[in-house]
């Protein structure tokens, strides 16, 4: 009988999100595929350094035991099969022995394989792949490979934050707000307070995380948060929707338009799903959490964050990374 991943949290991830293949990728983009392939062959036995999503993947895989596989991480990459071999060897070298499945498309769009994999989350360093995955209805996040590495301040806890409208919930209410303003939005939500909101693209991921939360794993836990611009009385429909889904979140922040940055700095999420702005807000929120980084590296990281903010039309008050540093 074929093996099934049906009862597992399935996370598909690109090799560039899991490992630091930036030098190799620059060679691929600036020269020719043959030079890139030659370099990967030369480095087959050289483990790649951890990438920006490595710590998150390591924590998720800690929910697996010898008796039960609860989380399945699958490599899904535009890389060629030889580069895929190096990715598998790198995973083994870093102790990620349960990463045993992968699809490598050698330049072709890989997101079509999300459906047969049954993936609840797709992490990629390619923004176009993420966009197309979202269009297919799969929760996906663009991991910026130049951004700073995830914080190690909570190594035994996976923290994931979700926006509400157009993320966990459909954009039905958001469209009212955009078309008619705040007063009309509040009136609309009060009138429909007991009517559950339709599902958004990231609801299946939250449901899978909720199921994983019900399993006791010594030393590991998942913590989820709803971080939304909604405020009372519109908060009731959001909470009633979660109760209708029989899903609990650990924290809920109804900010009424307040900037999310300070709240995210306090929560310290591994991932934030906030439409296409997630990577920007996440990078800003955790900027002061990374130690042993030079000022030059912070200058580079800040320049990349500002570039992404301009691309995705994300506003934040800080003009310089020094303003983000605590203490």
The span from the first CA to the last CA of the chain, in angstroms, equals 58
Between these two residues, 139 and 119, which has the higher pLDDT value? 119
Q: Does residue 307 share a domain with residue 262?
A: yes
Taking a C-beta distance cutoff of 8 angstroms, is the pair 144, 281 a contact?
no
Tokens of 312: 């995705």
pLDDT of residue 311: 45
Q: Does residue 32 share a domain with residue 127?
A: yes
Q: Does residue 207 share a domain with residue 258?
A: yes
Q: Does residue 161 share a domain with residue 135?
A: no
Give the chain's mean pLDDT. 81
Residue 253 has pLDDT above 80, yes or no: yes
Q: What is the mean pLDDT of residues 294-321?
A: 59
pLDDT of residue 85: 93
C-alpha gyration radius of the chain: 20
pLDDT of residue 86: 93
Q: Does residue 224 share a domain with residue 117?
A: no
pLDDT of residue 1: 64
Say which range, 71-85, 146-160, 250-264, 268-282, has the weakest mean pLDDT.
268-282
pLDDT of residue 194: 92
Q: What is the mean pLDDT of residues 223-240?
A: 92
The DSSP output letter for 150 is P
Q: What is the mean pLDDT of residues 133-140?
A: 80
What residues does 272 pair with on adjacent strands? 161
Q: Look at residues 117, 142, 167 and tell me which one is the last residue of a structural domain.
A: 142
Q: Does residue 178 share a domain with residue 277?
A: yes
C-alpha closest to that of 52 among 308, 307, 302, 282? 282
The DSSP output letter for 323 is G
Residue 277 has pLDDT above 60, yes or no: no
Tokens of 317: 């008050």
pLDDT of residue 276: 46
Q: Which of 45, 80, 128, 163 is catalytic?
A: 163
What residues does 157 pair with on adjacent strands? 221
Please check whether residue 151 lies inside any domain of the structure. no
Q: Does residue 310 share a domain with residue 261?
A: yes
Residue 294 has pLDDT above 50, yes or no: yes
**Residue 163 is among the residues annotated as catalytic for this protein:** yes
Q: What gap in Å lies between CA 106 and CA 123, rounded to an integer?
A: 18
Q: Look at residues 93, 111, 142 and tell me which one is the last residue of a structural domain.
A: 142
Q: What gap in Å lies between CA 311 and CA 325, rounded to an integer?
A: 24
C-alpha closest to that of 166 among 200, 214, 137? 200
pLDDT of residue 93: 96
Taking a C-beta distance cutoff of 8 angstroms, is the pair 96, 57 a contact?
yes
Please check whether residue 52 lies inside any domain of the structure. yes
Taking a C-beta distance cutoff of 8 angstroms, is the pair 273, 167 a contact?
yes
Taking a C-beta distance cutoff of 8 angstroms, is the pair 164, 196 a contact?
no
Please check whether residue 90 lies inside any domain of the structure. yes
Q: Does residue 133 share a domain with residue 163?
A: no
- What is this structure's pTM? 0.75
Total count of domains within the chain: 2
Q: What is the mean pLDDT of residues 264-286?
A: 66
Please check whether residue 58 lies inside any domain of the structure. yes
Q: What gap in Å lies between CA 272 and CA 203, rounded to an integer?
A: 14
Q: Does residue 311 share a domain with residue 216?
A: yes
pLDDT of residue 309: 59
Taking a C-beta distance cutoff of 8 angstroms, is the pair 283, 301 a contact?
yes
Q: At 207, is the pLDDT very low, low, confident or very high (cuts 50, 70, 90)?
A: very high
C-alpha closest to that of 323 among 271, 275, 262? 262
Share of the chain above pLDDT 90, in %: 31
Please check whether residue 2 lies inside any domain of the structure. no
Q: What is the mean pLDDT of residues 246-265?
A: 90
Please check whether residue 148 lies inside any domain of the structure. no
Please check whether residue 150 lies inside any domain of the structure. no
| 189-206 tens-digit pLDDT | 888 889 999 998 899 899
Q: Does residue 120 share a domain with residue 176?
A: no
pLDDT of residue 247: 96
What's the domain range around 39?
Answer: 9-142
Cis previous bond, 51, omega within 30: no
Please check whether residue 130 lies inside any domain of the structure. yes
pLDDT of residue 272: 81
Residue 155 has pLDDT above 90, yes or no: no
Residue 40 CB contacts under 8 Å (≥ 6 apart), including other chains: 24, 80, 82, 83, 86
Tokens 């399935």, residue located: 10
Q: Look at residues 111, 142, 173 and tell me which one is the last residue of a structural domain.
A: 142
Residue 146 has pLDDT above 60, yes or no: no
Q: What gap in Å lies between CA 164 and CA 160, rounded to an integer?
A: 13
Q: Does residue 163 share a domain with residue 102?
A: no
Cis previous bond, 60, omega within 30: no
Q: At 4, is the pLDDT very low, low, confident or very high (cuts 50, 70, 90)?
A: confident
Q: At 278, is the pLDDT very low, low, confident or very high (cuts 50, 70, 90)?
A: very low
CATH number at residue 311: 3.40.50
Q: Does residue 186 share a domain with residue 37?
A: no
């Amino acid at each position: 009988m074929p093996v099934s991943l049906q009862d597992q949290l399935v996370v598909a991830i690109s090799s560039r999100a899991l490992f630091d293949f930036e030098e190799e990728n620059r060679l691929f983009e600036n020269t020719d595929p043959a030079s890139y392939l030659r370099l990967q062959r030369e480095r087959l036995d050289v483990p790649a350094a951890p990438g920006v999503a490595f710590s998150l993947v390591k924590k998720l895989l800690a929910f697996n035991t010898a008796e039960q596989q609860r989380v399945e991480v699958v490599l899904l990459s535009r890389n060629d099969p030889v580069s895929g071999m190096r990715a598998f060897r790198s995973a083994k070298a870093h102790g990620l022995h349960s990463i045993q499945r992968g699809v490598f498309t050698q330049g072709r769009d890989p997101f079509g394989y999300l459906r047969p994999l049954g993936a609840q989350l797709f992490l990629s360093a390619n923004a176009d792949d993420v966009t197309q995955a979202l269009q297919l209805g799969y929760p996906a996040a663009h991991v910026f490979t130049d951004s700073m590495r995830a914080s190690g301040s909570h190594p035994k806890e996976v923290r994931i934050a979700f926006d509400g409208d157009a993320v966990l919930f459909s954009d039905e209410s958001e469209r009212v707000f955009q078309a008619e303003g705040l007063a009309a939005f509040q009136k609309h939500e009060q009138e429909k307070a007991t009517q559950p909101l339709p599902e958004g693209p990231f609801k299946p991921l939250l449901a899978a995380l909720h199921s994983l939360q019900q399993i006791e794993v010594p030393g590991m836990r998942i913590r989820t948060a709803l971080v939304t611009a909604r405020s009372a009385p519109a908060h009731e429909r959001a909470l009633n929707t979660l109760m209708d889904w029989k899903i609990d979140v650990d924290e809920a922040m109804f900010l009424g338009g307040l900037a999310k940055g300070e709240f995210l700095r306090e929560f310290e999420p591994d991932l934030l799903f906030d439409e296409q702005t997630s990577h920007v807000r996440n990078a800003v929120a955790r900027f002061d959490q990374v130690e042993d980084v030079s000022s030059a590296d912070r200058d580079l990281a800040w320049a990349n964050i500002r570039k992404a903010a301009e691309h995705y039309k994300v506003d934040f008050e800080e003009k310089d990374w020094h303003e983000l540093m605590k203490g």
